[in-house]
Amino acid sequence: MDMYQKLNILTDAAKYDVACTSSGISRGAGGKIGTASAGGICHSWSADGRCISLLKVLFTNYCQYDCAFCINRKSNDVPRAAFTPRELADLTIDFYRRNYIEGLFISSGVLKNADYTMELMISCVRILREEYGFNGYIHAKAIPGASQQLVEILGSLVDRVSVNIELPSEASLKKLAPQKSKANILAPMKTITDGQEKARYEMVKYKHAPRFAPAGQSTQMIIGASDESDFHILRLSQALYDRYKLKRVFFSAYIPLNEDRMLPAKDTKPPLLREHRLYQADWLLRFYGFRAEEILSEQDNMFNPLLDPKCNWALNNMHLFPVEVNTAPYEMLLRVPGIGVTGARRIVAARKMAWLDFDSLKKIGVVLKRAQYFITCKGKTAQYVTIDKIRAENMLISASAKDNFKITAGQATQMSLFDRGSLNDRYIDVKTERMVVNV
Amino acid sequence: MSEAQKVMYIYDGTFEGFLCCVYNFYYNRLKPAAIVSVADFTPSFYENLMIETDYEQVYKVRFAIEEKMGRRNLEFLTGCFLTFLQEKEMYMLRYIVKGFKKGARIINDLSDDDVAALFKAHRHMERERQHFLGFVRFYKAGDVYVAKIEPKNQLLPVMAWHFTNRFANQDFMIYDATHKQALIYSNGDYRIIRVDDIEMPPVSEDERRMQRLWKNFYDTIAIKERYNPSCRMSFMPKRTWRNLTEMQDLSEGDNRITAGKY
């Protein structure tokens, strides 16, 4: 089999992996080739609009496991291939020299057993780091069930290690990925967290202490293959951030690849809107100082499809608004729908120089489309705007509905008058409607 | 100042030349109606004043800016000079005049029109730089890696550090066709030179094979259930496609297989 076919098969098998970030570590030219940039660099965007930063491939798609949702499961009849460590290292360097990529993202099916596969991956990374002196970004997936020593070796060689949590609960895992378990997923995760903790401690004591996965760890889970609520998923990601110090939790809308009675039917559309809402909420957790319990609750456990989580929160907490732009603390500015981290920072900087009105907000680049219903400038609201929950909800929904659902304003008004319960009932309908429009 | 208003400054198009314009504005008390580089000069009703670049003056102005407005503002202005903002020199002159009065905090005065315009242009330049760090596509010609880009802003001065660090052990050239400049790195030393027109070397058969491998990866990695061309377009505008290897049709002597393609 030539390189062309191999690359084709192993890329095709890896494309459902979500993460392709190259951020979190800044490193100058220390080796023979390569640097890493803290903000990460995207090199291209594929036809689905996802960024391409790393050469994302599986080391092999031969697999001992039989996870129901996976295209590479043992019982599937698909073309199989495997790189040799040297082939993959050479390809990475060739691509890197042409500035096609930022580094390597390596994951794998389980060939023979978890340890054997990890050893192959490690020898590939070794060639890159030690032989080529490659100083660019490497992200590796640890194989659940591999021994602790191997995870530690991998962590000392690469920038980011991650273990896929795969599904949002142990019950679903048992059902859909019987060879994996919560325990053997969380064990390597713990090893990585501990390794980082140790490296951080040693760095204080010794100048040249070895680093351990300096760009941190991430994980991903499939959304929509099992029946957990949004609240459950959000709380789980919150716990992962808190307990395992994860850098990112990625969500992947379930795309039916296999016919299986335990899974949604094969013609199910991927729940892209739900995935989008989860990412929005994830950002609120990481950058906006929200807790999962503020965004959703046990009773109200699914996202409102018509409103983003921040708007939704603001409308339920109208007693905190309007916020006076010229005096409000940074933390409160961050909670205004339509104002993000950049906008809030710019407001804080600019208001030291002059009192801000709506014109100056526009000038400094704050978008008022959503924000206008929640703020005042010098005590005044924007023209023709009154701060009122029902009216704000009406305006916000018709605005976002136009974007997301392509339905007419009349329908949107009607929908916004439903109480929350019936909105949730409509979730599925509206979702399918959107999929038809967008896909 | 009514007749003084009709003067047009003409300078050599370098940042140093522009600083001499600032010097002249302060010491000759001639308020310019426009400041243009020699390359952009077209005759007009204005009286022309040639500004010679004098390093004594450059030093004084640079020092004054750093002293009164701080290093960050000097860096900001250096960056603004690389943008493609229309009449950027006049905006920058007004910025400096205001900055001498207000000091370092001028950079935060975003509700001021001049500051806002420069801020916006500068941000555009920074963003474009970030994109082009990824969009440069080298190909190997002999022992040298060469690439061509067509950015809107003058990016080579702000990209040089990144690429010379990253590819410290490989000789390369990046040709900026918009601004007719080339960044040349060889034996651990780089310079940015002005060029008229460069004919890019042909792509060898070996190199073509490598490009096909890359395009193969690019086409395969997309998930067809999530096809979203407008999203791609907003990150990777069509004007950049011309110089992106993966967006070219590389078929001929086809050894592709169809799985994963659409």
Percent of chain A whose pLDDT exceeds 90 = 56
The amino acid at A16: Y
pLDDT at position A20? 78
Phi and psi dihedrals of A432, rounded to 5? -60, -40
What average pLDDT does the segment A367-384 reach? Answer: 90
In a domain, residue B253? The reply is no
Is residue A425's pLDDT more than 70? no
**For the packed helices A272-287 and A420-438, what is the interaxial angle rounded to 10 degrees?**
120
- The CA distance from A282 to A293, in Å, is 13
> What total number of domains does chain B contain?
3
User: How far apart, in whole angstroms, are the C-alpha atoms of residue A253 and residue A272?
Assistant: 6
Shared-domain flag, residues B140 and B188: yes
Alpha helix (H) residue ranges in B29-112: 55-69, 71-80, 88-102
Does residue B71 sit in the same domain as residue B92?
Answer: yes
Of B137, B223, B230, the CB nearest to A99: B137
> How far is B128 from B3, CA to CA, in rounded Å?
40
CB B82 within 8 A of CB B118: no
Reduced DSSP (H G I as helix, E B as strand, rest coil) percent helix, strand, coil of chain A, to 5: 45, 10, 45
Question: What per-residue confidence (pLDDT) applies to A399?
Answer: 61
One domain for residues B9 and B104? yes
The minimal CB distance from A98 to the residues B109, B138, B221 is found for B138
Model pLDDT for residues B24-73, shown as the tens digit of each residue: 999 988 888 899 998 888 888 888 899 999 999 999 999 999 999 999 99
Please indicate, yes or no, if residue B259 is contained in any of the structural domains. no
Rounded distance between C-alpha atoms, residue B132 and residue B218, angstroms: 18
Residues B97 and B21 in one domain: yes
The predicted-structure confidence for A231-278, as pLDDT tens digits, reads as follows 999 999 999 999 998 999 999 999 988 888 888 888 888 898 899 999
Q: Do B111 and A354 touch (CB under 8 A)?
A: yes
- Domain boundary among the residues B94, B124, B154 is at B124
pLDDT at residue number A401: 61
Q: Is residue B129 part of a domain?
A: no
**What is the distance between the alpha carbons of residues A268 and B85, in angstroms, rounded to a whole number?**
49
- Amino acid B252: pLDDT: 62
pTM of the model: 0.86
Whether B184 and B235 share a structural domain: no
Average pLDDT of span B135-163 = 95
Contacts of B20-28 with C-beta under 8 Å, sequence gap 24+, read: B20/B51, B20/B52, B20/B53, B20/B54, B20/B57, B20/B58, B20/B61, B21/B51, B21/B89, B21/B93, B22/B61, B22/B93, B22/B96, B23/B54, B23/B57, B23/B58, B23/B60, B23/B61, B24/B49, B24/B51, B24/B57, B25/B93
The gap between the terminal CA atoms of chain A, to the nearest Å, is 35
What domains are there in chain A, each with its CATH number?
Answer: 3-290 (3.20.20.70), 309-438 (no CATH)
Can you tell me the mean pLDDT for A113-141?
Answer: 94
Please report residues of A whose CB lies closer than 8 A to that of B224: 48
| A88: closest CA of chain B, how far (Å) | 13
Q: Is the backbone peptide bond immediately before B201 cis, with ω within 30 degrees of 0?
A: no
The tens digit of pLDDT for each residue in B76-118 reads: 999 999 999 999 999 999 999 999 999 999 998 888 899 999 9
d(CA B250, CA B232): 20
| Residue range(s) defining the domain that contains residue B144 | 136-194
Between the CA of residue A246 and those of A3, A164, A213, A237, A243, what are the distances in Å? 35, 12, 12, 9, 8
Residues on chain A touching B228 (C-beta within 8 angstroms): 47-49, 438
Mean pLDDT in residue range A3-16:
92
Cβ atoms < 10 Å from Cβ of A370 = 21
Nearest-Cα distance to chain B for A435, in Å, is 10
ipTM of the complex: 0.89
Query: Do residue B106 and residue B16 come from a single domain?
Result: yes
Domain membership flag for residue B256: no
Q: Are residues B180 and B213 in the same domain?
A: no
Contact yes or no for A42 and B105 at CB 8 A: no
> What's chain A's average pLDDT?
86
Domain boundary among the residues B69, B89, B124 is at: B124
Taking the C-alpha atoms of residue A133 and residue A66, their distance in angstroms, rounded to an integer, is 37
Mean pLDDT computed over A83-101: 96
Could you tell me if B78 and B154 lie in one domain?
A: no
Quick one: how far is CA B218 from the chain centroid? 27
A434 has pLDDT over 80: no
Q: Identify the pLDDT of residue A330.
A: 95
Residue of A nearest to B113 (CA): A363
List of chain B residues whose C-beta atoms are within 8 Å of the C-beta of residue A48: 222-224, 226-228, 231-232
Cα A8 to the center of its chain, rounded Å: 25
- Joined together, the tokens standing for residue A349 give 């900087």
Over residues B208-258, the pLDDT tens digits come to 999 999 999 999 999 988 899 999 999 999 999 999 999 988 876 544 433
* B136/B147 Cα distance (integer angstroms): 6
* Stretch A331-335: mean pLDDT: 95
Q: Are residues B75 and B171 in the same domain?
A: no
> Is the model's pLDDT at B207 over the cut of 90?
yes
**Gap between the Cα atoms of A59 and A83, Å rounded:** 6
pLDDT of A437 higher than 50: no
**Residue whose tokens read 């080739």:** A33
Give the confidence band of A345 by pLDDT, cuts at 50, 70, 90: very high
Indicate whether B17 belongs to any domain. Answer: yes
Q: Do both B13 and B54 map to the same domain?
A: yes
Report the residue of chain B nearest A268, measured CA to CA: B225
How many whole angstroms separate alpha carbon B262 and alpha carbon B253?
20
Write the pLDDT tens digit of every residue in A380-421.
888 888 888 888 888 888 665 655 554 443 344 334 434 344
Chain-chain contact of B259 with A9 (C-beta, under 8 angstroms): yes
Nearest residue of B to residue A3 by CA position?
Answer: B213
Choose one of B124, B146, B178: the last residue of a domain: B124
Task: Please give the DSSP secondary-structure letter assigned to residue A352.
Answer: T
CB pairs under 8 A between A and B: 178
For residue B260, pLDDT beyond 60: no
Average the pLDDT over each of A16-25, A149-158, A428-437 and give the range with the smallest value: A428-437
**Position B252 in a domain:** no
Q: Is residue B262 part of a domain?
A: no
Q: Do both B11 and B88 map to the same domain? A: yes
State how far residue B253 is from chain A, nearest Cα, in angstroms.
13
User: pLDDT class for B262, splitting at 50, 70, 90?
Assistant: very low
Contact assessment for residue A306 and residue A393, using Cβ atoms and an 8 Å cutoff: no
Residues of B in contact with A439 (CB under 8 A): 225-227
Q: Are residues B162 and B216 in the same domain?
A: no
Q: What is the mean pLDDT of residues A118-128?
A: 96
Judge: B116–A364 Cβ closer than 8 Å, yes or no.
Answer: yes
Does residue B261 belong to any structural domain of this protein?
Answer: no
Mean predicted confidence (pLDDT) in A306-330: 93
